[in-house]
Amino acid sequence: MQQKRIPLSKIVFVFLVVLGCQQEKKLPFLGPKEVGKQGDTLYHKIPDFKFLNQDSLWVSQKDMAGKIYVADFFFTTCPTICPTMKTQLLRIFDKFAEDDRVRILSHTIDPEYDGVRVLKDYAKKLNITSPRWNLVTGKKSDIYRLGEKSYMVTAQEDANEEGGFVHSGAFILVDQNRHVRGIYDGTKEEDVNHLIEDMTLLLKE
Amino acid sequence: MINKFAILGLMIIGISCESREEITRQQYVVEGMNLYQTNCANCHQVDGSGLKDLYPPLAKTDLWQRVKMSELACIIKHGQKDSIRVNGKPYNAYMPANPKLQALDIAELMTYMREKWSPNKTIFSLDSARYALKNCP
């Protein structure tokens, strides 16, 4: 019996199509979109900001230009989800330790207590020495507005909540052009694995 | 035939009598593990390694020999405001209280942690937990 042989070229073709499709995978653009004057799509963008970091230096959108970064919201005396979030951020930090294209931006939602000195002490205890991980403080209303309007997370004071604040444990992935490309649950290891994969993908764009 | 059953019966009675306390201890360990993961692992980590210099480790520490068990029970229940020394290193982040944990929860937690990290892997009984909590500073 003679078997019909599939020509090699066909196999190669199918292989290339499959490979091509996989490379096509791109992260979505999150947040409200607008139509520009030329009829082009304007994606949601993180606006200008300016906060003080743990070394008492100003950090603004200029420091993030051309970098991808993970943003989160926390407070140093948080007894609930923050320790888990910081454990996960440390994983991300270690993973991209050598990569100058990556930043981490942790905003305190309790700026009245978390001044520069408190943040410095917290950073020191977590062994955060790299200037690539900024813990920032500023005007409370600025931080809350940026969190809710731009990073699309909830953050507010709530006396009934343990620690006095209610906030989501989200990690927000922002691309080189200030667009939000992913939101993850920073308290779940699997979700953070997904974030790490997406960061690798985003770095190839 | 009767002999065989008699021997088997005696063996079962023997095992169950000898290890009634051991069975309780093992139940405490299992319950304690769940309680640990819900209430403690956030900061002290599932493996008890702590979080850098922020939150102290529980595994491989001198806590189990240096600090009284009743004192640890009180820290779990009422939190810790002062700095605490673990393996010679001071940690000064405060630990929140766990008002929801009752004496039985604390007995289970302590038994679990002893099983994992203390050289003394015995039960921390409900009576011990009640007594400790009644006499907290």
Domain count, chain B: 1
| Token pair for B33 | 């593990």
User: Taking a C-beta distance cutoff of 8 angstroms, is the pair A29, A172 a contact?
Assistant: no
Give the contacts of A81 (CB within 8 A, at least 6 positions apart).
A169, A186, A187, B42
Question: What is the average per-residue pLDDT within B47-63?
Answer: 95
Nearest to A86 among B51, B53, B94 (CB): B51
Distance from the B35 Cα atom to the nearest Cα atom in chain A, whole angstroms = 15
Decide if pLDDT at A18 tops 70.
no
> Which range of residues forms the domain containing residue B63?
20-134
- The span from the CA of A155 to the CA of A72, in Å, is 11
- Judged by CB atoms closer than 8 Å, whether chains meet at B43 and A86 is answered as no
Q: How far is CA B115 from CA A99, A137, B33, B76, B84, in A?
A: 42, 42, 10, 17, 22
Residue A125 belongs to some domain of the structure: yes
Question: Could you tell me the maximum CA-CA distance found in chain B, to the nearest angstrom?
Answer: 68
| Amino acid A101: pLDDT | 97
User: Which chain A residues are Cβ-neighbours of B45 within 8 angstroms?
Assistant: 87
pTM of the model as a whole: 0.79
Residue B30 belongs to some domain of the structure: yes
- The span from the CA of B126 to the CA of B131, in Å, is 9
| Amino acid B50: pLDDT | 95
Residue B7 belongs to some domain of the structure: no
Residue A59 belongs to some domain of the structure: yes
* Residue B30 in contact with partner chain A when CB distance is under 8 A: no
- The span from the CA of A125 to the CA of A184, in Å, is 25
Domain count, chain A: 1
Residue B76 belongs to some domain of the structure: yes
| DSSP string across chain B | -HHHHHHHHHHHHHHHHHTHHHHHHHHHHHHHHHHHHHHTHHHH-TTS--BTTTB---TT-THHHHS-HHHHHHHHHH-B-S-EEETTEEE-S-B---TT--HHHHHHHHHHHHHHH-S------HHHHHHHHHT--
Strand partners, A137: A52
Confidence of residue A46 (pLDDT cuts 50, 70, 90): very high
Decide if pLDDT at A7 tops 80.
no
CATH of the domain at A105: 3.40.30.10
Decide if pLDDT at B67 tops 90.
yes
Residue A141 belongs to some domain of the structure: yes
| Amino acid B66: pLDDT | 94
| Amino acid A48: pLDDT | 97
ipTM above 0.95?
no
Confidence of residue A22 (pLDDT cuts 50, 70, 90): low
Residue of chain A whose Cα is closest to the Cα of B53: A125
Residue A98 belongs to some domain of the structure: yes
Confidence of residue B1 (pLDDT cuts 50, 70, 90): low
| Amino acid B115: pLDDT | 97
| Token pair for A33 | 């979109």
User: Which chain B residues are Cβ-neighbours of A86 within 8 angstroms?
Assistant: 51, 54
Amino acid at A5: R
Instruction: Identify which of A99, A90, A95, A47 has the alpha carbon closest to the alpha carbon of residue A72.
Output: A90
What does the mean pLDDT of chain A come to?
A: 89
Give the contacts of A98 (CB within 8 A, at least 6 positions apart).
none
* Residue B46 in contact with partner chain A when CB distance is under 8 A: no
Residue B3 belongs to some domain of the structure: no
| Amino acid B16: pLDDT | 61
Give the contacts of A166 (CB within 8 A, at least 6 positions apart).
A154, A155, A156, A157, A158
User: Which chain A residues are Cβ-neighbours of B53 within 8 angstroms?
Assistant: 124-127
SS (H, E, C) chain A: CCCCCCCHHHHHHHHHHHHHHHHHCCCCCCCCCEECCCCCEECCECCCCEEECCCCCEEEHHHHCCCEEEEEEECCCCCCCHHHHHHHHHHHHHHCCCCCCEEEEEEECCCCCCCHHHHHHHHHHCCCCCCCEEEEECCHHHHHHHHHHHCCCCEEECCCCHHHEEECCEEEEECCCCEEEEEEECCCHHHHHHHHHHHHHHHCC
- Compute the count of residue pairs across chains A and B with CB atoms less than 8 Å apart: 29
Decide if pLDDT at A168 tops 90.
no
- The span from the CA of A205 to the CA of A50, in Å, is 27
> Which range of residues forms the domain containing residue A101?
45-203
CATH of the domain at B60: 1.10.760.10
Residue A37 belongs to some domain of the structure: no
